[in-house]
Structure 1
Amino acid sequence: MPIDITPERITAVEEIIRPHIRHTPVLHVDLDDFGMAALPIALKLECLQHSGSFKARGAFTNLLTRPVPAAGVVAASGGNHGAAVAYAAMRLGVPATIFVPSVTSPAKADKIRSYGARLVIGGERYANALEASERFVAETDALAVHAYDQVETLLGQATLGREIEMDLPETTTLLVAVGGGGLIGGIASWLRGRIKIVAVEPESAPTLNHALAAGKPVDAPAGGIAADSLAPRRVGNLMFPIAQAFVGTSVLVADDDIRKAQQALWDTVRIVAEPGGAAAMAALLSGRYVPQKAERVAVLVCGSNTAAVGFD
C-alpha cells in the first residue's frame, strides 16, 4: 500500500485545496421514489463540483503541491480529468495542454476549451491519449498530471472520502463508480474499512473487477457508454493494493442500466449525471447490488459532463 497516502496527508491536502473546491451537497431520497422497495439512501452530489466532477480535487492537489514549470501542465484524459486540470490551470494562471481520445464527448471537449486549455485528440482510447501526452512531456518538460495513478491525485480524491464521512457519519455502505481507480482508491485510503465500499463498473469496462480476480492489475475491455470516463486499459498500480484491502465487493452493470439510471436521476430528482456519474446508482436500480434492510446506503454521483441528450 502506498505509504504516502495517509490520513494525516489527506487532511493536510484538504486544507490546501479547500479554498479552491466546493463542499458538495447531499440529497436524501428513498428508493420508493424510483419505483423500488422503500429504502432511504443519500446521494452525494459531487457532480456539482467545479469542472463537473470530483476530478477537480486531484487537479488542484497536483498544481498546488508540485512545482509547475514555465511549459505548464499536461494531462491525458477521457474528458473529466482534462476539464479539471484545465480549470485548475486557468484559476492558477498556468498554461495547460490536454490530450483526449476521439471517444471523448463533445460536452467534455467543449468544457476543456472553455477553460482556455489547448486540446489535442490523441488516438481512439485513453491509453492512446496517455502515450501522446507522454511524448509531449518528453519534448517540453511540462508537468504531467496523471488521471489516477499518482500519489497527489489519490490524495486529492481522498478528500472526498473525508467529506463523505463528515457529511454522513451514519453511512454503512458507499457505492462508487470505478474507471482507473483514483476515486475509489482515494476514498478507500481515507475510510480504511470503516464503511463498506462497493465498486461499480460497466460490464464493457471491468478493469477493477478483472484485477481483483487476477490478484493484480490486468488489461480489460475498454468500451461502452461510459468509455470516456470509466474505460482505461487497466486500473492504477498505486490504487490496487488499497482496493484489495478496503473495497468490499465489485459489481458490474449493463450500459442499458446506466442509461436508465441517468434518466431516473433526471426524472425523479432533476439531477443531470453523465454515464460514469450514474453508474453507481445503476447498481441499485438494476438490482446488481441489493442492500440489506439494516444498511445505510450512500451513492456517489460523481460527474455531470454530458449534453444530456434524451432528457426532457
Structure 2
Amino acid sequence: MPIALSAERIAEIEGLIRPHIRRTPVMCVDMQDFGGAALKVDLKLECLQHSGSFKARGAFSHLLTRQVPEAGIVAASGGNHGAAVAYAASRLGVPATIFVPSVTSPAKAEKIRAYGANLVIGGERYADALAASETHERASGALAIHAYDQVETLLGQGTLGKEIEEDMPDITTLLVAVGGGGLVGGIAAWFRGRVKIVAVESDGAPTLYEAFRAGKPMDAPAGGIAADSLAPKRVGELMFPLAQQFVQPPILVTDDEIRAAQKALWEGARVVAEPGGAAAFAAVLSGKYVPVLNERVCVLVCGANTAAVKFD
C-alpha cells in the first residue's frame, strides 16, 4: 500500500478535518422492524453528515492540505461530491465551479447552488461532466478535486473507517455501497483487513464487479436508479489494489431492492436515504447478504440527498 494511503496519514487527516465535519451517529436496529429476520445490525448514519453525504470528508481533506489558486476549485460530480465541495468551499471562502450531468437529481443541484457554487450541466453522465470539468481546469487554472481517484479524497473518506472503529470496536463486518470506490478504498486503507468489508453495487452500474472479473478497472454500464451517485464509467485506479486485497467481491442489488430499502429505512427507522445511500442496506434487507452467528454487522447509510420525502 502506498505510504500516502496509510492508516497513520488517515489519522492525521482526521485531526485536520474534525473541526469541520460531524461525528455521525450509529443506530442499532432489529431487521424484524423492516419485515426481515430476527437480526440486529448497526446503521452508521453518515447520511447526516454536512452536505448530506460522506463526501464532505474528502472535500475538506483537499481544501485543508492543498494550495488553492485564485481561480478557485473545480469538481465534477453526480451530485454528492459537488454538494460537499461547494459546502467546504463556502465555509472556507473559496470560489467553486461544479460540473454535473443531466441525470443529477434536482435535490442535489439545488443544494450545490444554495452553497454558492457555480453549477454547470456538463453532458448526460458523470464521465461527460468530468471531461467538461477538465476542460475548465486547463482553461482557468482552477484546482481540480476528483470525486474518488485522488489521494486526498481517499484519505478523507478513510476517516469514516476510523470513526466507525472507534464507535464499534467489536465490529466484524461493514457493508459499503460502491460507485467510483473512493469511500470503500479509503475505508479499506484504514482497516487493512481487520474487518470484513463487503462491497454493494447497483446492478445497473457494476463498476467494481466488472473490475474484479477483469483484474483491473474496466468500463461498465452507468445506469440504474442510483446513477447520480453510483455510476461512473469505472472504479478508480488508486482504490482498486486496496479492493483486491481487503474488500469482498461486490453484491449486486436491483433498483427494486434499493427502492424497498429506501422505503424500509424511512418507515422502520425514520431515516431518509437516497438510492445510493440505501444500497448497502438493500443487500441485507433483500437477503443477498446473510450474517453468520456472532457476526456484528454495520451497514453504512452514506447519503440522504433526495426529495423522495416531501413535507407540506
Q: TM-score, normalised by structure 2?
A: 0.98
Indicate the residue corresponding to 1:151 in structure 2. Answer: 151
Aligned-partner Cα distance in 2 for 1:293–1:71: 55
* 8 Å contact kept, 2:209–2:249: no
Aligned-partner Cα distance in 1 for 2:262–2:154: 27
Q: Tell me which amino acid in the other structure corresponds to 1:108.
A: K
Aligned-partner Cα distance in 1 for 2:2–2:284: 31
Indicate the residue corresponding to 1:121 in structure 2. Answer: 121
For residues 86-141 of structure 1, give each alpha carbon's deviation from its aligned partner in whole angstroms, at most 9, with x where no partner exists.
00000000100000000000000000000000000000000000000000000001
Aligned-partner Cα distance in 2 for 1:138–1:276: 31
Which secondary structure does the structure 2 equivalent of 1:257 belong to? helix
The share of aligned pairs that are identical, in percent, is 74
Aligned-partner Cα distance in 1 for 2:122–2:211: 26
* 8 Å contact kept, 1:263–1:311: no
Shift of 1:287: 1.1
Indicate the residue corresponding to 2:26 in structure 1. Answer: 26
Which secondary structure does the structure 1 equivalent of 2:199 belong to? strand
Aligned-partner Cα distance in 2 for 1:264–1:311: 18
Indicate the residue corresponding to 2:59 in structure 1. Answer: 59
For residues 129-178 of structure 1, give each alpha carbon's deviation from its aligned partner in whole angstroms, at most 9, with x where no partner exists.
00000000000010000000000000000000000000011111100000
Structure 1 residue 302 and structure 2 residue 302: aligned? yes
**Structure 1 pair 284–311 and aligned structure 2 pair: CA distance change class (3 A):** farther
* 8 Å contact kept, 2:202–2:255: yes
Which secondary structure does the structure 1 equivalent of 2:5 belong to? coil
Which secondary structure does the structure 2 equivalent of 1:265 belong to? helix
* 8 Å contact kept, 1:2–1:238: no
The aligned runs of 1:250-269 (5 Å cut-off) are 250-269=250-269
Q: Structure 1: where are the runs of 5+ without partners? A: none
Indicate the residue corresponding to 1:201 in structure 2. Answer: 201
For residues 261-309 of structure 1, give each alpha carbon's deviation from its aligned partner in whole angstroms, at most 9, with x where no partner exists.
0000000000000000000000001111111122110000000000015
The aligned runs of 1:94-243 (5 Å cut-off) are 94-243=94-243
Indicate the residue corresponding to 2:271 in structure 1. Answer: 271
Aligned-partner Cα distance in 2 for 1:253–1:37: 19
Which secondary structure does the structure 1 equivalent of 2:13 belong to? helix
Which secondary structure does the structure 1 equivalent of 2:4 belong to? coil
Aligned-partner Cα distance in 2 for 1:148–1:120: 20
**Structure 1 pair 174–79 and aligned structure 2 pair: CA distance change class (3 A):** same
* 8 Å contact kept, 1:188–1:197: yes
* 8 Å contact kept, 1:197–1:249: no
Which secondary structure does the structure 2 equivalent of 1:248 belong to? strand
Q: Structure 2: where are the runs of 5+ without partners? A: none
Q: Tell me which amino acid in the other structure corresponds to 2:63.
A: L
Q: Tell me which amino acid in the other structure corresponds to 1:26.
A: V
* 8 Å contact kept, 2:47–2:54: yes
Indicate the residue corresponding to 1:286 in structure 2. Answer: 286
Q: TM-score, normalised by structure 1?
A: 0.98
* 8 Å contact kept, 1:75–1:97: yes
Aligned-partner Cα distance in 2 for 1:283–1:105: 23
Indicate the residue corresponding to 1:17 in structure 2. Answer: 17
Shift of 1:2: 3.1
Indicate the residue corresponding to 1:75 in structure 2. Answer: 75
Q: How many residues align?
A: 312
Which secondary structure does the structure 2 equivalent of 1:65 belong to? coil
* 8 Å contact kept, 1:172–1:296: yes
Which secondary structure does the structure 1 equivalent of 2:251 belong to? strand
* 8 Å contact kept, 2:272–2:309: no
Shift of 1:215: 0.4
Which secondary structure does the structure 1 equivalent of 2:98 belong to? strand
For residues 241-260 of structure 1, give each alpha carbon's deviation from its aligned partner in whole angstroms, at most 9, with x where no partner exists.
00000002310000000000
For residues 6-45 of structure 1, give each alpha carbon's deviation from its aligned partner in whole angstroms, at most 9, with x where no partner exists.
1111010000000000000000111111121111110000
* 8 Å contact kept, 1:207–1:233: yes
For residues 205-261 of structure 1, give each alpha carbon's deviation from its aligned partner in whole angstroms, at most 9, with x where no partner exists.
000011011100000000010000000000000000000000023100000000000
